[in-house]
A and B are shown apart, each in its own frame.
Chain A
Amino acid sequence: MKIDLGKLENLARLMEENDLVELEIEDGETMMALEREEGSGALRRGGALSAGIEEGDGSVTVTSSHVGVFTRHRSAGESVAAGDLLGEVRVMDVKYRVLSPVAGVIEEVLVEDGIGVEYGQALFRITRTERN
């Protein structure tokens, strides 16, 4: 496969500008998957961790930052650390990661695997194990 460096550079810029962590592009027989280090631009700006709403009872509701199809990676009962991958939301051909905003135990997965979610929709309920 021939790599077009100009194209690659454009894609990298696109990822940076849109806070994308992963990008898959298919063009006929060529498939390119790019992954960007979390903790670079996106985390510095606080864009990559998913939004969490404090519920008052010590639990946090993790919401979707995008409109798309949801895929679940973690299940109820599992312990997670802040920044752990909980699932992803696929917007057209772009996957956005849902990263846990807190450390805790997943109490409930609020959305079924493979269904469409809207911006701000509650995805997970997590009970904190530590204050951060």
Chain B
Amino acid sequence: MFRKILVANRGEIAVRILRACRELGIETVAVHSDVDADAFHVKLADESVCIGPAAVRESYLNIPAILSAAKITGADAVHPGYGFLAENDRFAELTGHSGIRFIGPAASAIRTMGNKKEARRHVAAAGVPVVPGMDISSETDPREVIEKVGLPLMIKAAAGGGGKGMRLVREAEDLPRALSRATSEAMASFGSGEVYAERYLEGVHHVEIQVAGDRYGNVIHLGERDCSSQRRHQKLLEEAPSPVVTPELRRAMGQAAVRAARSVDYDTVGTVEFLLLPPDEFYFLEMNTRIQVEHSVTEELTGVDLVKLQITLAAGNRLEIPSFDEIPSRHVLECRINAEDYTKGFLPRGGTIRTFHLPGGPGIRIDTHIYAGYRIPVNYDSLLMKIIAVGHDRNEAIVRMRRALEELVVEGVPTTAPFHLRFLEDETFRQGKVDTGYVERWLGSIQ
């Protein structure tokens, strides 16, 4: 086992990792920028090293400073958390070259999964379903396109971006005209008329599978999380199990996720994200080769401490648990509480936390780094805490979450707690029918 771990992160995830280290009896080093000298993770660690000024490029993304901090403190492993350098293959590689264990996957796995096109090709070869698509041209038989891709479909420029050269096709008879228009538009915008057709998915859920692997080729899954409640691709609320996943579907998605992870010899914890078109059509979206914000949802569902598991796997331990094809009968919700004003387009706000009271009681877990008197720096992301509510069923989890949100007191900055209180009452959410576009439609309707 490791003797001393350097945590190359800040905020709630740094606190989460330090707690895991404490339970494992491992000494800890926190790193911080100069504006984070009073941050909770710095107070919690055995040692701390200031690695640079506030700008992330000069501190939390400063690879030489972080590795140098590990060297001078004698750390034998580095945990990257999420964000910052967690999915930087060069950091993983350089850490290893410095004789320090990177608590995460091999650089090659990060590289493969970090490139969307490459990842898609890679997992498709391993038998994981990807969104149906094909390269097309004016020579292509429209019937072949409809058969292979399905309707509705989107024609996209191969060199594309910014919506240029994109055409949505709902009816088979519209395909030839859309294709010629998309081709000429792509030619005009990108100097290449190359286009491809991809199935256009509407009403999809974002369902992701937690996976874990060890160095000996074992890979398991730990069930799903439904993260469909999102705004501009930022997750706001996560839950497990997904209201739209059946036991059969869980097994199928779990197996697909394990195949995806195996295809890159995955030997740590990670997440395979899918788009799910209910009832049971699912497609690979991407793989996150790190611990995620919402890992705590799976921890509360399965009882597995994912951060401790991640550390022990990096130290060479074997996976001792089987896949969670069957999950305990309970329900977990997580609300991300950000320092943002949701009535003003979720505008992030800095400030000092004046008064502060955390909810508690049965079924409530809170992961946070804030405290009364804490000044939130404007340089970093706005996540203040995660409230996790566990109930015997979905309704009890919702009731507990609502109670916790009502008990929560944060004075000094606006938070997204009022958004959650309101959203939890929504009928579509109550019915578990939230798709990935729902929150934005709902926000438009309540204003």
* Chain A residues in the interface with B (C-beta under 8 A): 66-69, 91-92, 94, 115-121
Contact = CB atoms under 8 A, between A and B. Distances in A.
The interface centre, meaning the residue of B34, B68, B73 with most chain A CB atoms within 10 A of its CB, is B68
Given A67-B69, A69-B72, A119-B34, A92 B64 contact: yes
Interface in B53-79: 53, 59, 64-65, 67-69, 71-73
B301 interface: no
A28 to B, nearest CB: 15
Interface in B394-412: none
Given A91-B65, A92-B64, A119 B52 contact: yes
B343 interface: no
A91 B50 contact: no
B49 interface: yes
Contacts of A119: 34, 49-53, 59, 65
B316 to A, nearest CB: 26
B73 A91 contact: no
Given A92-B67, A94-B64, A121 B50 contact: yes
A113 to B, nearest CB: 14
Interface string B33-51: 0100000000000000111
Contacts of B68: 66-68, 91-92, 116
Nearest to B94: A92
> Would you call the interface of chain B mostly helix, strand, loop, or mixed?
helix
Contacts, number: 47
A91 B64 contact: yes
B98 interface: yes
B65 A120 contact: no
Interface of B: 34, 49-53, 59, 64-65, 67-69, 71-73, 98
A92 B100 CA distance: 13
A67 B98 contact: no
Given A67-B49, A92-B98, A116 B73 contact: yes
Given A67-B72, A116-B71, 8 more contacts: A67-B69, A91-B68, A92-B67, A92-B68, A117-B72, A118-B69, A119-B50, A120-B34
A119 B72 CA distance: 13
A52 to B, nearest CB: 16
Contacts of B64: 67, 91-92, 94
A114 to B, nearest CB: 10
A90 B67 CA distance: 12
B98 A118 contact: no
B328 to A, nearest CB: 45
The interface centre, meaning the residue of B59, B67, B71 with most chain A CB atoms within 10 A of its CB, is B71
The interface centre, meaning the residue of A116, A117, A119, A120 with most chain B CB atoms within 10 A of its CB, is A119
A48 to B, nearest CB: 16
Contacts of A120: 34, 50
Contacts of A66: 65, 68
Contacts of B52: 67, 119
A69 B52 CA distance: 15
A116 B72 contact: yes
The interface centre, meaning the residue of B53, B72, B98 with most chain A CB atoms within 10 A of its CB, is B72
A116 B34 CA distance: 17
Contact of B50 (A68, A69, A115, A118): A118
A71 B73 CA distance: 17
